[in-house]
Amino acid sequence: MDRFAGIFGTAKPVIGMVDLGALPGAPLYHQEAGIFGLVEWTRPDLRALQSAGFDAVMLGDENDRLHELGIDRATDFMARKLATR
């Protein structure tokens, strides 16, 4: 618990989840909206969690089908890019 307190400022942080839309290369990716569409769709969820006082937010990639045990470089890159927007 000391480790959590050192990172989050509390021993029991509240961590939320924001599900990303399908990323490029996935069958459900919305080509017309592109990456900027993903950012705009993700932003309201992130802001809601921040406003509610969550200590941290994880990004989920539940919209990419089929699920894989590993992650390829393109998916990793896009998730990081969205996280910094």
Could you count the other beta carbons within 10 Å of the beta carbon of residue 46? 18
Instruction: State percent of the chain over pLDDT 90.
Output: 27
- Tens of pLDDT, residue by residue over 33-53, are 988 898 898 899 999 999 999
Q: Is the pLDDT of residue 3 over 90?
A: no
Predicted TM-score (pTM) of the model is 0.69
Q: Break the chain into its structural domains and give their ranges.
A: 13-83
- Tens of pLDDT, residue by residue over 70-83, are 777 777 777 777 77
Average pLDDT of the residues in 8-18: 91
Yes or no: say if 60 and 21 are a contact pair by the CB < 8 Å rule.
no
DSSP 21-63: -PPTTSTT--TTTHHHHHHHHHHHHHHHHHHTT-SEEEEE-TT
